Amino acid sequence: MKRKVVNEGAQKQTISDDSISQARAAFMASSEISDCKTIFVGIGLPCLVAHITQNYTSPNCHLVFESGLMEVICKTQPLSTASANIAKASKMHGSMLDVFSMLQRGEIDVGLLSAAQIDVNGNLNSSKLNTKSGKTISLPGSGGAHDISVLANKVVVVMPSDPRRFVNNVNFITSPNIPYGNRKGVVGVAMPDAYFSFKTGKAVLQKIYSDRTTEEIRSSLNWDMEISSTLERINPPSNRILEGADIFLQNN
């Protein structure tokens, strides 16, 4: 796999394109999380968001995983929400009911999720995909995704850059963007080059990395894309963050 030189010093270090892409998406998502928040972390890319948030952007956040682990230090990538690496690095081992109860009581500030597909309204699919040949492919299912999307005070989604994942209508609505009570639901989706807000109900390009153009974003997605009048251009993650993300992704 291609690796990019990020440090020309004595210890020359290279990082794969895949790591850089994941780190850019995760860093973009972490820019939506302020310090001291309680975060319910899904598995996959959300764990990298949690790692970057905890180590670089909002160090006093509280991390919760659906297995019941609380106050987790997310140093290395977990393969499941109950993995030994995060179980060892947690301050409290509760039950699954404990953490979902926190979620239902409204004590989770931010839910971090990924999905197979997201649509322009912020609905998520992690259940079934329809192929062009008319077949249906089953996926592992909701897990806690539906519950997090409905019950977290806000949900930030993080996705890889793949036009097949950004669709106008998802094939199956696992996690509807219809939150409970006055909670905010899916407020946005981060990907490796940009962040889309769902503030108006529909996806609007809200943030873009300074090394990308809006046309590049438009051509990389299947979305009917709107651009915010207050579009923000932000600096991509530093080499220090890219290096940290690379180490995190390799250690599982």
Partner 1 sequence: MVDKIMTAQQAVKKYINNSDMVFVGGFGHAIPFSIAQEIVRQKKHGLHLIKTGADIVFDMLVAGGCAQGLTCGWYGNPGMGMSNVIRQEVESGTLELTESTNFSMMLRLHAGKLGVPFIPSPILSNGDLAHTVSEIKSITCPFTNAEIQAHGSLNPDVAIVHAQRSDVNGNVQLWGSIGDTVDGCEASKKIICSVEEICQDDEISLTPHLTKLPAHKVVAVIKQPFGAYPSYLHSFYQRDEKYYADHSNNTKDALKTEEWLQSTIYNHNDFNSYLHSLPEDLLKKLEWNNS
Scanning 63-71, 189-197, 206-214, 223-231 for contacts with partner 1 by CB under 8 A, the matching segment is 63-71
Q: Is 96 in the site for partner 1 (CB under 8 A)?
A: yes
Q: Which two tokens stand for residue 195?
A: 């962040």
Q: Coil, strand or helix: which one is 131? A: coil
Q: Contacting partner 1 (CB under 8 A), which of 16, 104, 214, 222?
A: 104
According to the binding rule CB under 8 A, does residue 250 interact with partner 1?
no
Per CB under 8 A, the list member of 5, 36, 79, 231 interacting with partner 1 is 79
Radius of gyration of the chain (CA): 18
Closest separation in Å from C-beta 123 to partner 1? 7
Asked if 103 is part of the footprint of partner 1 (rule: CB under 8 A), the reply reads yes
What's the closest the beta carbon of residue 188 comes to partner 1, in angstroms? 19
Of residues 118, 135, 101, the one with CA closest to residue 173: 118
- Per CB under 8 A, contacts with partner 1 among 113-142 are 123, 127, 138-142
- For the window 181-220, what string marks contact with partner 1 as x by the rule CB under 8 A? x---------------------------------------
Amino acid sitting at position 136: T
**Only segment of 19-27, 51-59, 96-104, 236-244 that touches partner 1 (CB under 8 A):** 96-104
Euclidean distance between CA atoms 183 and 185, whole angstroms: 6
Task: Provide the mask over 138-177, with x wherever binding to partner 1 is found by CB under 8 A and - wherever it is not.
Answer: xxxxxxxxxx--xx--------------------xxxxx-
Q: Write the CA distances from 115 to 6, 42, 85, 130, 200, integer angstroms.
A: 30, 10, 23, 15, 21
Q: Provide the token pair at 57.
A: 């952007």
Quick one: which segment of 5-13, 21-29, 88-96, 195-203 binds partner 1 (CB under 8 A)? Answer: 88-96
**CA–CA gap between residue 42 and residue 152 (Å, rounded):** 12
Q: Phi and psi for 180 in degrees, rounded to 5?
A: -80, 135
Residue 47 CB, shortest distance to partner 1, in Å, is 10
Torsion of CA 124, 126, 128, 130, to 10 degrees: 60
Which of 22, 58, 67, 197 is the binder for partner 1 (CB under 8 A)?
A: 67
Plot region of 113 (φ>0 → left; ψ -120 to 50 → alpha; else → beta) = beta
Q: Which of 131, 148, 128 is nearest to 139 (CA)?
A: 128
Beta strand 69-72 pairing with 90-93 = antiparallel
- The residue with tokens 């080059």 is 193
Among 34, 97, 163, 238, binds partner 1 (CB under 8 A): 97
Binding site for partner 1 (CB under 8 A): 43, 66-69, 78-84, 87, 93-97, 100, 103-104, 123, 127, 138-147, 150-151, 172-176, 178, 180-181, 252
